[in-house]
Structure 1
Amino acid sequence: MSCVLTLNAGSSSIKFGVYNAAPEPDLLAVGLVEKLESATPHLVLHQGSDTTEHTLSEGGHDAAVIAILAAVTPVLAGRKVAAVGHRIVHGGPDHSGPARVTPEMLADLERYVPFAPLHQPHNLSAVRAAMVAFPDAVQVGCFDTAFHRGHPFVNDTFALPRRFYDKGVRRYGFHGLSYDFISGELDRIDPDDHHRRTIVCHLGNGASLCAIRGGRSVGSTMGFSALDGLPMGTRCGQIDPGVVLYLLDQEGMTSSEISGLLYKESGLKGMSGLSNDMRELLASDRAEAAQAVDYFVFRIRREIGAMAAVLGGLDTLVFCGGIGENAGEIRAKVCEGMDWLGILLDRTANETPFSQPGGVVSEGEVTVRVLRTDEERIIARAASAALE
């Protein structure tokens, strides 16, 4: 029996999974290597009811991929890895769906490294490592930008001279694999509804909102890069371009220094001066931690209003991602006082959302759900489909 391997390389972690190759793949094992920025990353592998853990001897994405390949070898039990599916954050303007990755495509995707410097280099590095480890396997790229490629022009452009749009300077949107999975889950949960006006809040170390109508993205808070929109763990979110000019001209910072500031030193970590971990911020009694949480919530509420305007109303609001799925306090803060939009949270259900049918945590006109997203399953489906 053939298997597919999924690799989801982020800025500080790599998620991976092993599935039977099938139209709806069966999960055999799933794992995570986290704290890649440290000298001793941690690998966890779950196979059925068994969990194995160990600390790696060195940090970095390359060492993590090697450790993952060693960890999944016993899971394969002699079965062939027929396809490897990869999350690739940026697919540019041309990729609107999964695609077989060739050396030529890899070279082309290098062009988008400046657009997603925290993710794209690691995504492509994982592809190269898998090509070496599994030379006979089909390599399949699944692009976080693909779900948003059908945007109307007004949601796809900036008010710059048209030549920049033609060169690819446009709003791409991200977290598309997560939004694709959630859209499918909504259809599965209530196939007769079609969730005509839906906002999905993907809240984690990276965070964004997406407006979905008829199963397709019509608006996103993220734009040209994964910096825009909501404040994130270490990323600034929306910022006045004049601030960047000020940093260049008055602070004398280089573009590299500004990139490090906006991508790695800002967001919840920068505002709080404490951490990018929402759990630590909620547990802290420091005023700066509370202010960082308040700003995070404020921006989510503001963007919900904006996405509702894009949709012309709201039928469904979904929370997913590490914070969205697990931080009931954040969901409560976001939904408080939003009854003008039809959002009314069921406080009791919000405390134990995954025990509710369909994750429903509301009692108002707008159905509020908490759903576990599964980017790896989207990748596994695409990898399996490439074998047909």
Structure 2
Amino acid sequence: MSACLLTLNAGSSSLKFAAFAARAGEPLRLASGQAEGLKSEPRFEARLGDGPRQKKALGDGGPVSHRQALDAVLAWLSEHLPDHQIAAVGHRVVHGGRFFSGPVVVTDEVLERLRLLEPLAPLHQPHNLAGIGVGRQAFPGAVHVACFDTAFHRGHGFVEEAYGLPRELYAAGIRRYGFHGLSYESVVHLLRATAPSLWDKRLVVSHLGNGASMCAIQGGASVASTMGFTALDGLPMGTRCGQLDPGVLLFLMAHRGMDAAALTDLLYNQSGLKGLSGISSDMRGLEASDKPEARDAIAYFVARVRREIGALAATMGGLDAIVFTGGIGENAWRIREKALERSEWLGIAFDPEANRAGSPVISGPDSRVKALVVKTDEEAAIARHTIRTSGMDLRPQLEPQAMAGELE
């Protein structure tokens, strides 16, 4: 029986997983998949390595719990990786607050502290912690490691962390934390292997998806992020508002009678692309629509991306590369094209044909600033943290896959 580790990423209606062995401290993916639509139409898909996806319905068609989803994951792993035993489990946790600046072995005390942060990430944190609870029940003998989306940004200086509020509130933890750190870590790791002369330069990485943010990265470390105290700030997202004048909230409270619960629903669930368009929170649906409201929502999203490229480049005193990642960043070539319109002043010579063809390099050969598309791998980032934090010996049974093609 060979030891391996499992990564779990529990969302409000999904459970993503991956199983890894390791070589020289690096994760080797054995299998991956997800259970999704848990509240409506539960379905399950998984695959071994880079093999074909196996798909099936989950349960009897009604809602299923995260525990039932994990049971489906375990049954599939038992069938397809019968000679592997789970020795460690890595969990994605969105918010680590002031408490955690790196991965940590999960204890009851750790969970108590993480529950205090649930109001700061209500769409994610409760489900992340529920996933940890389910995982600890299923694997009581394994080492469980919490890996934080905020940790990558914890090296920011005072200017990038603070708000223009009384200093006592900063000391109390009301500060900019930043998110999507596991995604940014995975991009830096891949660039280090595939673009060794570029990875530690001045990068703006755009994680664009249903949740969206951008990050200035220099020397492989986060310098500034568009997200702040919660995952509402910065870019508009699928259903989240992005940057907002706080005076709007005061007005809604005073003149619309909205309380905290109503504002929470507005800002987290009814805004962003969904609210702007009145059609959909899904960029694919908006791109397929011929309605002017869809075009307006897309234009607003792209304008915010363009603005943040300039702002983040300014924090670093220049730019050497821009990287697109995430579901929209990796797949929506029209959004990338619009985002890089009129970017010659930045030193980007955009290559439309390479962009439409899905090339990993979408700038021309003579472009002073590179434009790249990199597939994020948050599960691998979680696995690296789990290997190092747990100290487990996870010996591989398969040869590691070759890296992607050069991005230089």
Same fold (TM over 0.5): yes
- Could you say what secondary structure the match of 2:231 adopts? coil
- Tell me what 1:362 maps to: 363
Which residue is 2:401 aligned to?
A: none
SS of 1:185 mapped into structure 2: helix
Q: Which residue in the other structure is 1:228 paired with? A: 233
TM-score by length of 1: 0.95
User: Could you tell me how far apart the structure 1 residues matched to 2:78 and 2:204 are?
Assistant: 40
| Residue among 379, 383, 389 paired with 1:380 | 383
Q: 1:41 deviation in Å?
A: 2.0
Q: Report the CA distance between 1:173 and its aligned residue.
A: 0.0
1:183 and 2:188 equivalent? yes
- Does residue 247 (structure 1) correspond to residue 252 (structure 2)? The answer is yes
Give secondary structure in 2 for the equivalent of 1:26: strand
Please report how far the alpha carbon of residue 156 of structure 1 lies from its aligned counterpart in structure 2 after TM superposition: 0.4
The Cα of 1:26 is off from its aligned counterpart by 1.6
Aligned with residue 89 of structure 2, among 64, 68, 84 = 84
- 1: CA distance, partners of 2:239 / 2:193: 34
CA distance in 2, matches of 1:60, 1:280: 28
- 2:275 and 2:346 map into 1 onto residues whose CA distance is 32
Q: 2:165 aligns to what?
A: 160
Matches within 5 A, 1:234-273: 234-273=239-278
Percent of aligned pairs sharing the same letter: 53
- Aligned equivalent of 1:28: 30
Q: Counterpart amino acid of 2:117? A: Y
Q: Report the CA distance between 1:14 and its aligned residue.
A: 2.4
Q: Report deviation, 1:50.
A: 4.0
CA contact (8 A) 1:195 1:315 kept: no
Distance 1:64 1:302 in 2: 40
Q: How many residues align?
A: 383
2:405 matched residue in structure 1: none
Residues 238-271 of structure 1 show CA distances to partners (whole Å, capped at 9, x for unaligned) of 1110111111111111211110111011111111
* Deviation by residue 1:139-198 (Cα, 9 ceiling, x = unmatched): 001100000000011000101111111111000000000001111112112223343210
The amino acid that maps onto 1:114 is P
Q: What is the Cα deviation at residue 65 of structure 1?
A: 3.2
Moved more, 328-337 or 243-252: 243-252
Q: Which 10-residue stretch deviates more, 191-200 or 323-332?
A: 191-200
Pairwise CA distance, 1:51: 2.6
One-letter amino acid matched to 1:53: K
After the TM superposition, which residues 294-305 of structure 1 pair with which residues of structure 2 at under 5 Å, given as runs?
A: 294-305=299-310
> Aligned equivalents of 1:101 and 1:174: distance in 2?
20
1:313 pairs with 2:313? no
Q: What is the distance in 2 between the residues matched to 1:293 and 1:347?
A: 19
Q: 1:352 to 1:60 in 2, by over 3 A?
A: farther
Give distance in 2, aligned partners of 1:53 and 1:185: 29
Q: 1: CA distance between counterparts of 2:311 and 2:195?
A: 25
Aligned match for 1:95, one of 100, 125, 128: 100
More contact order relative to length (CA 8 Å, sep ≥ 6): 2
How well do the aligned residues superpose, as a CA RMSD in angstroms?
A: 1.4
What SS does the aligned partner of 1:209 have?
Answer: strand
The 2-side partners of 1:255 and 1:59 are apart by 29
2:130 alignment partner, SS class: helix
Match of 1:130 among 135, 138, 141: 135
Q: Determine helix, strand or coil for the equivalent of 1:383.
A: helix
Distance 2:148 2:33 in 1: 21
Shift of 1:79: 2.1
Correspondence for 2:285 among 280, 302, 312: 280
Residue matched to 1:173 = 178
What code does the residue aligned with 1:387 have?
Answer: G
Give 3-state SS (helix, strand or coil) of 2:382's partner: helix
Q: Distance in 2 between matches of 1:50 and 1:324?
A: 24
Which digits, 9 at most, give the CA deviation of each residue in 1:22-51, with x for residues without a partner?
412221111022233x42222111124243
- Distance, in Å, in 2 between the alignment partners of 1:12 and 1:326 is 23
Give the Cα separation in 2 of the matches to 1:11 and 1:349: 36
Q: Tell me whether 1:41 sits opposite 2:42 in the alignment.
A: yes
SS in 2 for 1:25: strand
Question: What SS does the aligned partner of 2:240 have?
Answer: coil
Scaled by the length of structure 2, the TM-score of the pair is: 0.91
Aligned partners of 1:335 and 1:344 also within 8 Å: no
Q: Which residue of 1 aligns with 2:402?
A: none
Report the Cα distance in structure 2 between the residues aligned to 1:192 and 1:273, rounded to whole angstroms: 45
Report runs of 4+ in structure 1 exceeding 6 Å deviation: none
Q: In structure 2, list runs of 5 or more residues that go unmatched.
A: 393-408
Out of 248-257 and 57-66, give the one that drifted further. 57-66
SS in 1 for 2:101: coil
User: Structure 2 CA distance, aligned partners of 1:252 and 1:162?
Assistant: 30
Return the alpha-carbon distance in structure 1 between the equivalents of residues 15 and 350 of structure 2: 34
Q: Displacement, 1:212?
A: 0.4
Instruction: Tell me which residue corresponds to 1:292.
Output: 297
| Residues in 2 aligned to 1:59 and 1:110: alpha-carbon distance in whole angstroms | 23
CA contact (8 A) 1:195 1:316 kept: no
Task: Tell me the distance in 1 between the aligned counterparts of 2:71 and 2:173.
Answer: 34
The alignment partner of 2:27 has SS state of coil
Question: In structure 1, how many angstroms separate the alpha carbons of the residues matched to 2:74 and 2:179?
Answer: 27
